[in-house]
Structures are given as structure tokens and as C-alpha cells.
Structure 1
């Protein structure tokens, strides 16, 4: 077990580091590992523990660039707007702490409920798979209807839907398909608005009181949403977070940050456990794990992998808070316009490196669309039409590929 422990810890280190780098997704590392596994016949089991540590740690630290730099990936994209608002009020570190609370609480809730979920998830999976398209259509209707400027909301949802469909048909490696689209809609657009508005970031409060009981419903809501994201193909953390938001139990920036943290971590573990529960992995990391295990996972594996995930969670939560405190201190002592420019330049470089000139075009188009909600006064969550509509079409069996 010493080798498994070492590989778990090394995975945690890599997961924290990759979470801090905008655009660096664990699926990339997982793909490299799978290639090395088959080419060099490396023992599979230690790599499983490495991927678990990597995945869990990444789901925590990925919120740091999202909140402090406005540079999200697909799992943290919805944290940009509320996190940035809290950052501008000196509460960026508190926003990060709430995602850690949600992630840790969600993981513990998952462990407690795992014996029950092991028997109920196959049935839940069958029902959700049958009706998910209708749930998403209702959610989209609520997103549009609740806005004061309904016509603008409808226009932006439709525009982002078209943009999403076109982007998903671009000649880009599928592993990096969402990078330019979401970076433009949510990351670069937020950075652009911040650059041209008041760019002063106040000193970040590092001492505050969190009433843990207040966030228990948010944590369990995140767990339920994480089950949806972790089991269903085509449904990611963003879509499930929107569903959670529309239940009314995630109202307010703080509760929503806790929900996002819970979804991110529980989705990560459930996508792995899905190999045992329903026979299908639901993430790049989980697919790699299935390859390393030879396609099968036993119940004993679930117990050991969950224990490795718990250890990874504890370590990652601690270091995410420590690193976040450093970010919180630095961001208030530098010119945020310079930070915005450097972050945008780095994002564009990453996009170009992984998706070429086509990715840059998608990112810039997304940036232009992403600025509109700031100008007309509607929520940026409407822009998730870029993911919701293709997902609905997928469940309806309608092909969106025309190239």
C-alpha cells in the first residue's frame, strides 16, 4: 500500500498545480498517462491512485484562478461572476473558503450515503436519462422568464446556443473543445469588463465567521446535482449547477459558491465510482482508471479508492485555503488591470497552443457575446445556452454535427 499512498500524494500535488493553471485540464494528463500505460506497460493500480489524487485536488484548487483571476475551466465557470463580485468587496477568500466547505461537506455526505446510493443510483440513472432533456428545457425557460429584460434574455440564450453548436463543430481536438468557448464567454469577457471599469481590488478579508449549519442544504443540493453530472453523459457541472440554482435552495452568492464546490468534488468521485455502479466512466480521468483496471471495478476497489479520495480531499482543502490566502494578499497589492491583461494574454496563449487560430476566433467571439450581459443587465448564466441546448439535442437524439 506504500506505493499507492505515494502515488496518491504525488497526484494531489499535480492536481493542485494543474488547478492553478488556467486551461490545464486533468483530461490532458489522463490521456498522456493512458498512452504511457499501454506503451511502456506501466503497472496500472498505482496510476489509478495518482489519477484519484489528481482529480480530487484539481476540483478544489481550480476555484482559485476562477475567483481571483476570472479564468475558469468548465467545472468552475459559474463561480466567476459571484466569486468576482465577492472579490471586489474584499470577500474573495471567503468565496474560496465556501467552495472548500461545499467540496469537503459534499464528499463526506457522499461517503455517508454511499451504501444507499449504491442501491438507488442505477434506478436514478435510468429515470434521469429518460427525462433529462425535459428538465433542461424547463430550467432554460425559468432562466429566461425570471429576468426583467426577457427579450434580451431570450436573445442571449438563443445566441449562446447557436454559438455553442457552431463551436462544437469546429475543427478542434475534442479534449479542448470547451476551452476557447467558455474562456471567451465567461473568463475573457469578465476580464475585459474589469479592465475598463473600476479595477481596484480591496484588501481581502481572511477572518470571517461561517455558520456551517446554514450551508448543509446547499451541500446536499450540490451532492444531488453532482450525482446528475457524475452519471449522465452530456451533462456537466455547469448544467447541473443551473438546475440546482433554479430550485431556490442555492439563492445568494455564498450558498451558490458552496453548491458549486459540492458539485465539483462529488461529480469527480461519482464519475469514477460510476464504473462500478453503472459500468460506465463519466470523465477523462475515470476512463483512464477503467483502462488501468482492465475494465472492471470491484466493491473493495470502491472502498479503497474512496479512502484515497478522502485523503486527497483533506490535503487539497488545506493547501487550497493556504494558497488562496496568498492570492488574496497579492491581488489587492497589484494593479488589477495588469493582472487582467496578463491573465487574458496567458489564456489566449493556452487557447492557441491547444486549439490554434480557430480556438482564438471562438474565444474572441465568445468574449464579444460575454460582454453583452454586463451592458444590458441580465445574468451571465443565460450564456450556458451554449451547453444546455447541445445537451438537450443530444438527449433528443438530434445530431448537431454538420461538418
Structure 2
């Protein structure tokens, strides 16, 4: 029990570190954990599992801080602004943070309550879906390309999809670096360093952030259910991420952009 608590606190600290600093992904710590398995094998497996879970949970909750307050674009130079960034520009960044954390916490509670049911149905659903997984992922990619509004956006989306797939093939089959270590520099360069360089070029003056006395969070049951479904999609479709699942669920549940 002592090792479980110790590793849980270590995982929380690592998750907070990865959540607050932009460009640091929890997967980078998982690579570190794998590399330290010969040393960690002397500790109970439950403690190592607690380390991984605590990293994931704490990172999910703390990751909203940089996602909302960092990399806020200039509203005069971009066409679409994310709801969280728009609220920051309106001086409601603290409200956006409260709404995001509330949604994540409520979804986590619902997930824990429904865990016995999920543990029963997810393996069955995964076994049924697995033979058709490549068709489902291809269909999801085609659907996201088709959903773009203009032909120019469709072509750009298709180009980015193809070039990113080609880049992934090159990285995972490179003779320069092992495929086990290729994702760390690739993701850090594409998202971490690139995001920081783009943020350095932005000159956005943020207004004073004020917390409202009452915050309208929308249709809470619908939002929590949508978040739970999106999380299940990510678990069943390993090639899908949070963005793809969020767009897909929002489209079929009729959630507004702010929700």
C-alpha cells in the first residue's frame, strides 16, 4: 500500500508537470517508464499501474490550463477561434477553465460509476470491431474530409491527412532511429516546439480575466454523456484521438460549439 501511495504521488507530480507545460505529453513519461522497467520490476505491479494511471488522470485535468490560456490567437488574423480561446479574449478565461474542469470531473465520476458495465461490454465490443478496424478508421478520415465546408478546405484536409500518414510511415520505418523511440522526437517537434515557436510570433493582448458569479454550463447530462461516448470511441478506435472523437460525437448529438 505504501508503494502504491508513493507511486501515485509521483505520477500526480509528473502529470501536473506534463499538463501545465505546453509541448510535454504524458506519453513521453510512459516511454521513460518503459525504459526503467528493469529497475521498476522490483516494485509491486500495482504500484507501477498506479503510477501510470495517476499520470493520465492528473494530466487530463491540468492540461486544460495551457489549452485555454496559452497559444491564444489574434482574433484579427484567424477565421475560427476555439470556444476556450474566445472566452479568454472576452475576459472569461476562468469561466472556461471552470467549465472544462467540471465537465472532465463529472465525466470521470460517471465513468467510475459505470466501470463494471464498461468492463463487461468493452472487450465484447472491441472483439466485434477489431476485424473491421481499418475500415472504420478510413471511414472516419473520409467523413472528416467530406465535412469541410469548401472544396479548398476539403483538398487541404485530404493533403494534410495523406502527408501526415506518409510522415508516420517514414518515422516508424526509419533506419536512423528505432521505431520504439521515433515518436518522442517526432511528436515533440511537430506539436511541442512548433507550438511554442508559433506562440512566440503571436502578439495577443489578453484582457483581465474575471470569474463570473454564475456560469452557464449548458445541458450537463447531454455533455457528460457525449464525453463518455467520445472516450469510449478513443478506447475502441486506437487511431482516433480526442479531437476526432469530439467532432464526431458533437455532430451526431447536436452539441453546440460552446458546449
TM-score normalised per structure 1: 0.53
Match of 2:56 in 1: 55
Match of 2:118 in 1: 117
Residue 30 in structure 1 maps to residue 30 in structure 2: yes
Among candidates 181, 190, 199, match of residue 181 of structure 1? 190
1:159-308 paired onto structure 2 within 5 Å? 159-168=159-168, 169-170=170-171, 173-182=182-191, 187=195, 191=199, 194-195=202-203, 199-211=204-216, 214-253=219-258, 255=259
Kept after mapping to 1: 8 A contact 2:18/2:26 = yes
Q: What is the rounded CA distance, in whole Å, between the counterparts of 2:201 and 2:40 in structure 1? A: 48
Kept after mapping to 2: 8 A contact 1:217/1:249 = no
More RCO (CA 8 Å, sep 6+): 1
1:324-335 paired onto structure 2 within 5 Å? none
TM-fit CA distance, 1:217: 0.9
**What per-residue deviation string (whole Å, max 9, x for no partner) do you get for residues 30-65 of structure 1?**
222233231464303323222221221011111211
Kept after mapping to 2: 8 A contact 1:16/1:61 = yes
Q: Do the aligned partners of residues 246 and 134 (structure 1) sit closer, same or farther apart at CA in structure 2, a change above 3 Å counting?
A: farther
TM-fit CA distance, 1:248: 3.9
**What per-residue deviation string (whole Å, max 9, x for no partner) do you get for residues 199-219 of structure 1?**
221111223423567222111
TM-fit CA distance, 1:232: 2.9
Q: What is the rounded CA distance, in whole Å, between the counterparts of 1:235 and 1:139 in structure 2? A: 8
TM-fit CA distance, 1:129: 3.2
**Whose helix fraction is larger, Structure 1's or Structure 2's?**
1
Residue 2 in structure 1 maps to residue 2 in structure 2: yes
Q: What is the rounded CA distance, in whole Å, between the counterparts of 1:246 and 1:176 in structure 2? A: 34
Aligned pairs, number: 241
Q: Do the aligned partners of residues 213 and 203 (structure 1) sit closer, same or farther apart at CA in structure 2, a change above 3 Å counting?
A: closer
For structure 2, the 5+ residue unaligned runs are: 73-80
Residue 101 in structure 1 maps to residue 87 in structure 2: no
Kept after mapping to 2: 8 A contact 1:20/1:62 = yes
Kept after mapping to 1: 8 A contact 2:23/2:193 = no
Q: What is the rounded CA distance, in whole Å, between the counterparts of 2:118 and 2:248 in structure 1? A: 20
Q: What is the rounded CA distance, in whole Å, between the counterparts of 2:138 and 2:62 in structure 1? A: 32
1:375-390 paired onto structure 2 within 5 Å? none
Match of 1:42 in 2: 42
Kept after mapping to 2: 8 A contact 1:37/1:43 = no
TM-fit CA distance, 1:20: 1.1
Match of 1:67 in 2: 68
Shifted more, 87-96 versus 163-172: the winner is 163-172
Match of 1:17 in 2: 17
Match of 1:315 in 2: none
TM-fit CA distance, 1:26: 1.9
- SS in structure 2 opposite 1:177? helix
For structure 1, the 5+ residue unaligned runs are: 72-79, 256-403
